[in-house]
Amino acid sequence: MKETLATRLKELRKAKGYTQNQVAIYCDITEKAYQNYELQAREPKLDILIRIADLYDVSLDYLTGRTDEK
């Protein structure tokens, strides 16, 4: 799951044209914390994962690799 999450976070962010800092600000976390999610160093807590899913208008299942449907 960690690898899929990191890959999808990066793909979605780039597709929307956001910087890591912009996503971090939206999620009310530090840029370093968000970078760690994309680098597979850490996994986000559920509340942060929900914010990210809302930002990209995708499901939690998509982010975590349980489905390929956004």
Q: Which tens digits make up the pLDDT trace of 11-63?
A: 999 999 999 999 999 999 999 999 999 999 999 999 999 999 999 999 999 99
Give this prediction's pTM: 0.90
Residue 10 has pLDDT above 90, yes or no: yes
Instruction: Give me the CATH number covering residue 58.
Output: 1.10.260.40
Distance CA 61, CA 69 (A): 8
pLDDT recorded at residue 2: 80
User: Hey, is 46 helix, strand or coil?
Assistant: helix
Residue 22 included in any domain: yes
Reading phi first (left if > 0) and then psi (alpha if -120 to 50, else beta), residue 65 is in left
- Asked whether the beta carbons of 20 and 35 are under 8 A apart, the reply is yes
Give how many domains the chain has, as a whole number: 1
Distance CA 12, CA 9 (A): 5
Residue 7 included in any domain: yes
Distance CA 3, CA 9 (A): 10
Residue 1 has pLDDT above 90, yes or no: no
